[in-house]
Amino acid sequence: MAEKLWGGRFEGSTEELMEKFNASIGFDQRLYKMDIEGSRAQARALARMGVLTKQELEQVLKGLNRVERELDAGTLPLTDDLEDIHTAVEKRLTELVGDAGAKIHTGRSRNDQVALDERLFLRETVANTIAQIERVMGAVLNVAEAHLDILMPGYTHVQQAQPIRFSHYAMALFWMLARDRSRFEDCWKRANAMPLGSGALAGSAYPVDREFLREELGFDRITENSIDAVSDRDYFLEYLSASSILMAHLSRFCEDLIIWSSSEFGFVELDDAFSTGSSMMPQKKNPDSLELVRGKTGRVYGNLMSLLTAMKGVSLAYAKDMQEDKEPVFDTAETVQMSLSVFSGVWQTMKIKGERMADAIDGTILATDLADYLVRKGVPFRRCHRIVGELVKTALARGQKLEELDLPTLRAASEVFDTDIQEILSAEASTAQRNLDGGTGRDSVLRQIEAGRRLLTDGEASG
């Protein structure tokens, strides 16, 4: 059994159950690259302070390379008695290079070390997430552009509301993702502070050159307060929040596409590559890809709740509760990464069935347009609403579409109706009225697509 880093003041040995309960190595081994990167910088800083000689620094750097290779290859056994990845790396290093390795922890605590590793991990994870979001944004833009003029029913309450362009619907997703991207960019910026030098909580007693460490590790600033630096897990909470909102967005589009891929709607058809079948019913082609993204949303919310709850009321500075921060984050990183890949695959491959969409537009969807017509002729909107409501009743009773009602019927409801009514009574005409910025008119959607392309190509750099 490995000797404890902190064994000096103890007489008895740790209960096996306690060792298992206490160990984070089972999951924090995921941070080994970051831990080694931090240790390299730490060794260089120690050499500048004269704690390590030039020769010892060489030994330590070589030793760390070797530890990294062993961990890459999976040949270094990571057992619970090693407690965590910080201990495992330091112990192995010391085994390899002796006293020089035993000096590496000078002025450092696992409290600032873990904060550093996590921030390094998060920077990488967030940068990948941003790149993936951008890939989805690109796919959505392409779909919108390729299907610019497909008209479909727009829904509220899953009831037909007004005609829209399918491309307009797709661009709604694009703008949601643009905000998600910007949330992750914010998260990245705030996480980008270097905590080493904070020690356990009071700051290192050695004159650690924090500026040097910052530079070495590529951070844009150093943390301002050592107590805060070892207590802070905001960076993870923000990441989990941004991930939860992102998943909420994806789940809503999953829901729509799932419904739309049913035979009743038939608006889209998922590619075989992102569908699965039934073991019993030979005809089935199920949208499992989208159902899983929708389902995994719950798991990401759970991870956010889990860490918020773990952090609640934790006395400053560090307490072991905080070790519970890693699994929700690792699980989220994996879940979000897979979900974005699958979701983007679905968008790149699904078939958009424009005719079905246009055919589905029902006979009362132009009611608002009728009311707007009366408004343009000077009738107050509330009265128009009433008049058109009556006409809808008539049309439904006769089994006619609104646009099929003849002029005498219309004029019986309001004298203001005239022959020019025919010009506005089509889905095309309805969308053509809506070319204001943000509307579903053709020009408006084209402007959105252009703005989207610009945002995607000259958007903020995320590092």
Report, as residue numbers or ranges, the catalytic residues. Answer: 157, 278
**Angle made by CA atoms 386, 390, 391, in degrees to the nearest 5:** 115
14 binds ligand ARG (CB under 6 A): no
Instruction: Tell me the torsion sign for CA atoms 44, 49, 51, 56.
Output: positive
Number of residues that bind ligand ARG (CB under 6 A): 9
Which residue lies nearer to ligand ARG by CB, 199 or 345? Answer: 199
Handedness of CA 332, 338, 344, 347 (dihedral sign): negative
**Taking a C-beta distance cutoff of 8 angstroms, is the pair 261, 356 a contact?**
no
Smallest gap, in angstroms, from Cβ of residue 83 to ligand ARG? 7
Question: Segment 285-344, which members bind ligand ARG (CB under 6 A)?
Answer: 318, 322-323
C-beta of 105 vs 110, nearer to ligand ARG? 110
Residue 2 beta carbon to ligand ARG: minimum distance, rounded to whole angstroms: 15
196 Cβ neighbours under 8 A, 6+ residues apart: 38, 41, 42, 45, 108, 112, 113, 116, 208, 210, 213, 217
Between residues 19 and 288, which has the closer beta carbon with respect to ligand ARG?
19
Query: Are 427 and 442 within 8 A, CB to CB?
Result: no
Q: Which two tokens stand for residue 123?
A: 């920077």
Least separation in angstroms between residue 24's CB and ligand ARG is 4
24 touches ligand ARG by CB under 6 A: yes
Residue with tokens 């990294």: 68
Q: How far is the CB of 111 from ligand ARG (least distance, A)?
A: 5
Find the shortest distance in angstroms from Cβ 431 to ligand ARG.
55
- Name which position in 71, 114, 365, 370 contacts ligand ARG (CB under 6 A): 114
- Cα dihedral 299, 304, 305, 307 sign: positive
CB 217 within 8 A of CB 116: yes
Q: How far is the CB of 117 from ligand ARG (least distance, A)?
A: 9
Q: Dig out the tokens for 454 from the structure.
A: 């610009």
Minimum separation from the CB atom of position 187 to ligand ARG (A): 20
Q: Residue 156: enclosing H or E segment and its boundaries?
A: strand 151-156
CB of 22 to ligand ARG, least distance (A): 8
Contact 333, 125 (CB under 8 A): yes
In whole angstroms, give the CA distance from residue 173 to residue 252.
10
Tell me the pairing of strands 193-194 and 221-222.
parallel
* Cβ distance to ligand ARG smaller for residue 92 or 434: 92
- Secondary structure element (H or E) that encloses residue 143, with its range: helix 110-146
Say whether residue 110 binds ligand ARG (CB under 6 A). Answer: yes
* Nearer CB in complex with ligand ARG: 24/261: 24
Q: Which is nearer to ligand ARG, 253 or 318 (by Cβ)?
A: 318
**Bridge-partner residues for 222, per DSSP?**
194
Residue whose CB is less far from ligand ARG, 24 or 335: 24
Cβ proximity to ligand ARG: between 24 and 94 the closer is 24
Q: Are 253 and 342 in contact (CB under 8 A)?
A: no
Q: Cα 347 to chain center, whole Å?
A: 17
Among 35, 84, 180, 232, the residue binding ligand ARG under the rule CB under 6 A is 84
C-alpha–C-alpha distance, residues 239 and 290, integer Å:
23
Candidates 39, 111, 167, 297; binder of ligand ARG (CB under 6 A) is 111
Facing residues of 151 across strands? 165
Beta carbons within 8 Å of 2's beta carbon, 6+ residues apart: 79, 81, 82, 87, 91
Q: Note the residues at the interface with ligand ARG (CB under 6 A).
A: 24, 28, 84, 110-111, 114, 318, 322-323
